[in-house]
Amino acid sequence: MTFDNSANMIEKTNTLDNFWMPFTANRQFKAKPRLLESAAGIYFTSDDGRQILDGTAGLWCCNAGHGRQEITEAVSKQIAKLDFAPTFQMGHPLPFELASRLAEIAPPGLNRIFFTNSGSESADTALKIALAYQRAIGQSSRTRLIGRELGYHGVGFGGISVGGMVNNRRAFPLQLPGVDHLPHTLDIARNAFSTGLPEFGIEKADELERLVTLHGAENIAAVIVEPMSGSAGVILPPVGYLQRLREITRKHGILLIFDEVITGFGRVGKAFAAQRWGVTPDLITTAKGLTNGAIPMGAVFVDERIHDALMQGPDGIELFHGYTYSGHPVACAAALATLDIYQQEQLFERAIELEGYWQDGLHSLRDLPNVLDIRAIGLVGGVQLAANSQGPGKRGFQVFEQCFHNDLMVRVTGDTLAMSPPLIVTKAQIDTLVEKLADAIRQAD
């Protein structure tokens, strides 16, 4: 862009140089850009006027679809009334109202809400609360954190440390000390093409007992896992796995944190995966679907007993942690309007209603060339392809690009194509998504 002083106007140019894009091969993208200019319902409109079926709910976040007028109006009214107010030693009504609304849909006991601005901030916040809690109850030796291989908990140093995405860790090797990892649950040899949760793999939760023996339970503060690993390519928990983790953590006084940044707000059915699969953790991290992606916001759901343990001792700041924009009034307005939509349109239940149809559609791709596995639950799915001769990830990216040319947006992680359409998707749109994806897979080298 250039600034014209005489006309006091900004003249737009088409340069792509100045924006350093996140998690993107910048040189590759800018040589062949894929630009989206508007969105409504379940479709994006590209810069060349094509209607792109959004098979990813934006970035796992636009669960109620795009362009929701209710959210637009709520944000507009709020920014005109109160654009910002601090929540450090001050307050305004909306975060209190929103926290009350969230507590109503949370698993029992998780009724204390700490607001953040992203999933990364939610993960780091949950880890800090876990450490603070253990210290507050006289367990100050409990400083070790346990994550899981292939886990993704954002890009803060805490999240990278407990996360298990290889490239994230390789790129930033200076991480938190005192962190260990459970094995991941992806087991294609035994569970390929499972319908619903995979049958085999519950024993992988028992690795936590080995880590307890190795480090001592008295030194472990918390375990953090995604109920379903989204960013790693839709890796589902084996039957009974989450229950076993809950049993072991409770037995040893270790806090269990569910990262539900992706699974929260209806993605796998129910408000949270914790409710869908009948396991109540001690903390839940969220973001994305909280505001339908309209305004950045996250929230950490905390068990009341954890909160109350910190509300002891002399008066003063109980938790030395927070963000300038925690409980931002405009973000709260967007979240409240989003919760209204979820409730009025019963979107949390819709993932279960369409689950069978969604699974049947994706599993119809199993006989296509190079398809190694298909994983689907709720309204999320992954199709894993074999790597081609050019190396891992090349075939997956080729299919991703072809899908975009076919007017379909999917996510690609290595050679896995991930889909998570808005919860308002219809059966006809699922059919179109599957057909376009099948065509792209057939065309890949």
pLDDT tens digits, one per residue of 100-122: 999 999 999 999 999 999 999 99
User: In this structure, what token pair is assigned to residue 347?
Assistant: 């979107």
**Unique residue bearing structure tokens 């450090």:** 88
Give the pairing type, strands 9-11 and 298-302.
Answer: unpaired
At residue 86, the pLDDT reads: 97
Whether the per-residue pLDDT at 84 is higher than 80: the answer is yes
Average pLDDT of 148-165?
Answer: 96
What percent of the chain has a predicted confidence (pLDDT) above 90?
Answer: 93
For residue 434 the two structure tokens come to: 């599957």
List pLDDT tens digits, range 124-147.
Answer: 999 999 999 999 999 999 999 999
* SS3 at position 83: coil
**Mean pLDDT for the stretch of residues 310-339:** 96
Model pLDDT, residue 350? 95
The two three-digit tokens of residue 307, written as one number: 């909160």
* Domains of the chain from N-terminus onward: 23-54+354-443 (3.90.1150.10), 72-344 (3.40.640.10)
Q: pLDDT at position 12, please?
A: 59
pLDDT at 335 over 90: yes
Residue 197: the pLDDT is 97
Strands (E), 294-351: 298-302
Cα 341 to Cα 104, 298, 327, 381: the distances in Å are 15, 18, 20, 24
Stated pTM of the model: 0.95
pLDDT digits (tens, 9 = 90+) for 342-391: 999 999 999 999 999 999 999 999 999 999 999 999 999 999 999 999 99
Instruction: Inform me whether the pLDDT recorded for 1 exceeds 80.
Output: no
Is the pLDDT reported for residue 13 higher than 50? Answer: yes
Residues 6+ apart with CB under 8 A from 24: none
Residue carrying structure tokens 């190396």: 391
Confidence band (pLDDT; 50, 70, 90) for 418? Answer: very high
Q: pLDDT tens, 188-214?
A: 999 999 999 999 999 999 999 999 999
Structure tokens at 13: 């140019």
- Which pLDDT score is estimated for 313? 84
Structure tokens at 205: 């939760």
What mean pLDDT do residues 60-78 have? 98
Considering the chain, what percentage of its residues have pLDDT values greater than 70? Answer: 97
At 177 the three-state DSSP class reads: coil
CA distance 442 to 445: 8
The pLDDT mean for the chain works out to 95
Q: Side chain identity at 281, as an amino acid letter? A: P
7 has pLDDT over 50: no
